[in-house]
Structure 1
Amino acid sequence: MKAYLFPGQGSQFLGMGKNLYKNSHLAKKLFQLSDEVLGFRITSVMFEGSMDILKNTKYTQLAIYIYSVIKAKISNNFEPDMVAGHSLGELSALAAIDVFSFEDGLKLVNQRASIMQDICESTHGGMAVVFGLNDSMIEDACKKDHGIIVPSNYNSPEQLVISGEIQALRRVCSFLKKIGARKIFILPVHGAFHSPIMKPAQKKFKKIVNKIYFKNSKYPIYQNVTALPVIKSVDIKNNLVEQLTYPVKWKQSIKNMMDDGASTFTEIGPGNILQGLIKKILRKST
């Protein structure tokens, strides 16, 4: 069975989408549609913009969504048995399998990014990747701290991301180094995604999601919040909203896909970040 995976923030690169635009009539049409729907030239940001501009949340999320969905739409062999998306990638996956339209997905991503950017600018949050410790050790360290700090991305058996207030993040990272973390990397983001700090964004995003028409999915999508297969539109909507404050259960999702028969995993989007995580998850599972 074929599983298709869609990446989130961090996979962007300079000039992304330019070759697709030049070499595919459908891709060109969808890129032009993106500019029209958004009311500004996101294609200019993607094709000619600087990395400083592209890494801004409000542009990054749109660029990755557009690139990923277009790659799926122009592919001659996109025939999934199941799909999953990492954080933002969940929206790309849903558009690729026609749960909502490409245009409605653009509106969702644009509003999501804008709301999250506002929260980032009004709070002092951050994220860090922790390598080489058991999940339970990291979870306990977060629970014991008196600030807002939580596990936010269960990426692989060797990698867990934590998210929260900057001071709490520094304290917990310092403690985790003392108890044996192999490596800790502070992510170049200015927000505490997938944490309680995003609660105000969640409330606003729910209103936006409820205005968009969602179909039931033709294929099971393993959503981040539960790591379980979902088909009904009402469940998909609820999980999308919950995702903003809940951890991304990525390794759990991949394991469940394997248990349900997935034999090949294909990443659709810029870069190959998810492929690296898949190899680690598969290695630990065999």
Structure 2
Amino acid sequence: MDLDAFVAEHTAEWRRLEVLSRRRRLTAREADELVVLYQRAATHLSVVRSRLPDPSLVARLSRLVLTARAAVTGGSAFSWRSVGRFFTHGFPLVVYRARRWWISVALIFVAVAGFFGFWFGTHPEALAVLMSDDAAQAIVDDEFESYYSTYAAPSFAAQVWSNNAWVGAQSFAGGILLLPAAYVLFQNALNLGLMGGLMVSRGRGDLFFGLIAPHGLLEMTAIFVAAGLGLRIGWSAIAPGPELSRAAAVARSARTGMVGVLGLVAVFAVAASLEAFVTPSPLPLVVKDAIGVLVLIGFFAYVTIRGRAAEAESFEADVPDA
């Protein structure tokens, strides 16, 4: 087959298809013509790839076919209904199905943080290795509490939101390789245990839990979910199961994991708002703690109720292949 002759024979069709693909409105006859020309161009692309593998022509026809396909099938327009379905079905379903992963992460984290809290609280010599007594007392007397009111609430909320989202992203991405996520979580558990042990050992446990609980319960839960979704991807490469190949299992876990991570952006925003507006507020510590507990219970109820409902409806949270 002669390449120049092939191009000369079909150039007019390709140009016509390009014109129709760029039009925003088509008559019924033009729409039918677009479909026919798109099918022909797809056939031409297949022929060129198999018999006349010319790179420039393959690239030209590939762009043309992709543009025409978008015109034939139509683009997906923004819809508030899709946003609503994401938060009522997609996100809670992904988190609900991954519950064994992130609950396990949470339990291990709490155990590790509790261990370090007990260790530093009962072994002042270990704490002295990390900081001087003056530095420790400054944290207890002022720095721990003043941290939450140093900046204006709106800017502090934005700062906290971006920082928590970064930690969540590290936990998710690190979970794919398993060990990096464990390292990120270990660092956070160590820091939390260190600060908790310091505050409790010096008689300020009420202040520690009163300032951590309002935002920290939801914040850390979101990080646990991110880590659990990432670890599920990494584990699917090790044990893909009997139904899917290793590559398909990893791809599916990654796609659904990204759905979960996208929803966590909103969860981190709520936690940041609590940290910026509730934690430094003049409310009694017990009231702040109650707010944090209620928000966490609300998140659990949302994930459980909506996740079960979406599962009962056989809703598919997986992102379709392109």
Higher helix share: 2
Q: TM-score, normalised by structure 1?
A: 0.28
Between Structure 1 and Structure 2, whose CA radius of gyration is higher?
2
Q: TM-score, normalised by structure 2?
A: 0.26
Higher strand share: 1
